[in-house]
Amino acid sequence: MSRSSTRFDTKKVNSELVTLTYGALVAQMIKDLDNTDDVSKQLERLGYNMGVRLIEDFLAKTGTGRCLDLKDTADKIQTAFRMYLGVQPNVTNWSPAGDEFSFMLDNNPLTELVELPDDLKGLRYCNIICGVIRGALEMVQLDVQSWIVQDQLRGDTSTEVRVKFIRRLEDAMPAGED
C-alpha cells in the first residue's frame, strides 16, 4: 500500500494553528476579565514574558552579537518576525532623531481568521507583539516603548507596530555580588 499523496504546507498549518490558539486565548481572557483595557494589558504582559524567553532562542539560532545601533536592532527584529511568525515586515517611518521606527505588516498572521465585534473595537488584539518586542529588547539592555498605531482589525490596510527607543539599560549586578 502506498501513502496518500496529500501533502500539507506545514508553514500554513503552523500559522493557522498559532492564529486559532491565540484567538482562543484572547476569547478566554475576554470572558475572564470582561474589560478590553485589562485584556490588552494582559496581552502585552504575556508578550513581554514571551520576549524575555524568545531572545535567548533567537540569539542561539542566529548567532548574532550586540546591536550596533537602532537600525541594526530593527533589522534583527525583522529577522525575528520572519523566524517566528513567517512574515517579513517593512521597517519604515523613522523619526528625524532616529529613535523611533515602525514595522508595517501587510499580512498579520495573528489576525488572519479574526473579526472583532463592535463592542470589542477597543481591544488591542495584537498587543502581544508589542510585549514581545519590549521584553526581548529589555534582555539585551534596551528600554523601549512599543504600541499598535494601525490595526487591520480596525479597518486599516496594514498593521503598524511603532517602537521608540527610551534608553540603554546598564548591566546591573545583584546586590552583594561585587
Residue 9: is its pLDDT beyond 70? no
Q: What pLDDT is stored for residue 130 in this prediction?
A: 96
Decide if domain 10-168 falls under CATH 3.30.1380.20: yes
Residue 2: is its pLDDT beyond 50? no
Give the tens place of pLDDT for each residue, 139-151: 999 999 999 999 9
Give the tens place of pLDDT for each residue, 101-118: 999 999 888 888 888 888
Mean pLDDT computed over every residue of the chain: 86
- Please tell me the distance from the alpha carbon of residue 137 to that of residue 176, in angstroms, as a whole number: 26
- The domain limits of the chain are 10-168
Q: What pLDDT is stored for residue 103 in this prediction?
A: 95
Note the helical H segments in 34-152: 36-62, 70-85, 127-139
3-state secondary structure of 6: coil
